[in-house]
Structure 1
Amino acid sequence: MTTSKDVVLGVLALQGAFREHLEYFRKVIESHPQEYSQYNFRFIEVKTEEQLNSCDSLVIPGGESTSISLIAERTHLLQPLMDFVKNEQKSIWGTCAGLIFLSKQLKNGKVGQKLLGGLNVEVARNAFGRQIDSFESKLDFSTFIRDCTDFPTVFIRAPVITNVLHDGVTEAKEGEEIIYSANDYNNKAPIEILYSLKNYHNIDHDLIVAVRQGRRLGTSFHPELATDDYRFHKWYIDEFVLKGL
């Protein structure tokens, strides 16, 4: 008799679109019962250190990055999150505000904002403009998700990755303010640029909107808002959560 393996996938539930992520993960398992029959999945909201420590994987959702970090600090969850980031047996995915929170350094951040330092990247907030400048676009992710040529991405006051930090943090230029993570963790895995927007509004350089570094994933967009399309969440389960368990 085969015993099912328990897998706990948590979504940080301090602020933002955490319920949508949980719903999409459940849809993945419900729609592929045979494929995941050897696993006993639990999808949980994470609001406490105890809940966090029970997780094999964590998603940090979109929302308001400053609020997420301040609430984490106020509820004494910031240091446990930094400790979780250091555990390379755990997988982590940050979307939009979650990408900001997961980064090593941040341009145009707000006073008091904290970073977890799990991805060796620099991020800029609200890179596409205000809420009114939010947009949707079908993108071709088939280079890393099989046959996924038309995924409906949603960008809402989204950040972009402005620098890949191969050799440690960068110094701020004159007149530039940068927030640095206080976490002493250094992710030594190579950084892969998964997707860049090209020629966006005639900008003469690519805008990096998805990266991975080992078992850490960061996306500028909101896959959990792609109506009834949970291919990205399935890929995360297969590629990050289950590999290495």
Structure 2
Amino acid sequence: MTTTKPVVVGVLALQGAFREHIAYFNHILASNPSEYSEYDFKIIEVRTKEQLDTCDSLVIPGGESSSISYIAERTNFLQSLYDFVSDESKSVWGTCAGLIFLSKHLINGIEQQKTLGALNIEVSRNAFGRQIDSFEQNLDFSSFIPGCTDFPTVFIRAPVVTKILTAKDELKEGVLKSPNSYENKAPVEVLYSLKNYDGKDNELIVAVQQGHVLGTSFHPELADDYRFHKWFLDEFVIKRLS
């Protein structure tokens, strides 16, 4: 009799597009039953420490980063989140507001807003402007997702990574720093930079990885394309369980 290995992927459900992430993961698992037959996957909403404690992986969705922070603090959930993202046996992915929430330094943060400090990056909120400035663009992610040359990325009031932090970087005036004392020792890898956005000669970092933590400025859960979620399952969740 064969046994399957239990795997729990949690999606933080305090605010934002958590249902979309859950639907995407469930679609992948239903569409590829033989590929994942040795695992017993559960995709769950996470609002409490007890739910988080069951998880092997956590996804922090897009939404409003300050609201996610305030709700987590008001419900005495922040410390549990600090502990989870600091556990390098787990995997974590933040999209848009989730990327902001995972950062160590935050530009344009709201008063008393907290971040989890799992990524050694400085992030700027709403870097592309207001809701009206949201856009979609096909991008080539084949350098890290094989064959993915045309992924439809959705940017909605999206943040950008403005700096990869080093030990020498000092906190600038007006920039918020995460209260979490965790230091992620893995190198920060820039997975994708948006070049010549809006006709301007610049590069905006919109996807990074640092060890067990992934961050994206855009919303793969709104793309009607499941390749990014499958890559996360395969490369972050399953490989960490091997």
- The whole-number CA distance in structure 2 between the counterparts of 1:242 and 1:123 is 28
- The whole-number CA distance in structure 2 between the counterparts of 1:168 and 1:158 is 27
**Contact 2:90-2:240 at 8 Å conserved across structures:** no
Deviations 1:31-77 (A, max 9, x none): 11110000000000000000001100000000000000000001111
| Structure 2 counterpart of 1:224 | 221
Alpha-carbon offset, residue 168 of structure 1: 5.5
- The whole-number CA distance in structure 1 between the counterparts of 2:38 and 2:166 is 39
- Gaps of at least 5 residues in structure 1 are none
Match of 1:213 among 210, 214, 225: 210
- The whole-number CA distance in structure 1 between the counterparts of 2:201 and 2:149 is 24
**Contact 1:99-1:218 at 8 Å conserved across structures:** yes
Secondary structure of residue in 2 paired with 1:138: strand
TM-score, reference length from structure 2: 0.98
Q: Identity of counterpart residues, as a percentage?
A: 68
- The whole-number CA distance in structure 2 between the counterparts of 1:178 and 1:194 is 24
- The whole-number CA distance in structure 2 between the counterparts of 1:221 and 1:169 is 26
**Contact 1:120-1:164 at 8 Å conserved across structures:** yes
- The whole-number CA distance in structure 2 between the counterparts of 1:114 and 1:169 is 19
**Contact 1:4-1:39 at 8 Å conserved across structures:** yes
Match of 1:238 among 222, 230, 234: 234
Deviations 1:168-200 (A, max 9, x none): 55331xxx4100001000000011100000011
- The whole-number CA distance in structure 2 between the counterparts of 1:169 and 1:116 is 18
**Contact 2:103-2:118 at 8 Å conserved across structures:** yes
**1:126 matches 2:126:** yes
- The whole-number CA distance in structure 2 between the counterparts of 1:205 and 1:43 is 38
Secondary structure of residue in 1 paired with 2:148: coil
- The whole-number CA distance in structure 1 between the counterparts of 2:53 and 2:166 is 30
| Structure 2 counterpart of 1:140 | 140
**Contact 1:105-1:169 at 8 Å conserved across structures:** no
| Structure 2 counterpart of 1:109 | 109
- Gaps of at least 5 residues in structure 2 are none
TM-score, reference length from structure 1: 0.97
The RMSD of aligned alpha carbons is 0.9
Secondary structure of residue in 2 paired with 1:242: helix
Runs (4 or more) in structure 1 with deviation over 3 Å come to none
| Equivalent AA in structure 1 for residue 97 of structure 2 | A
Give the paired residue count.
241
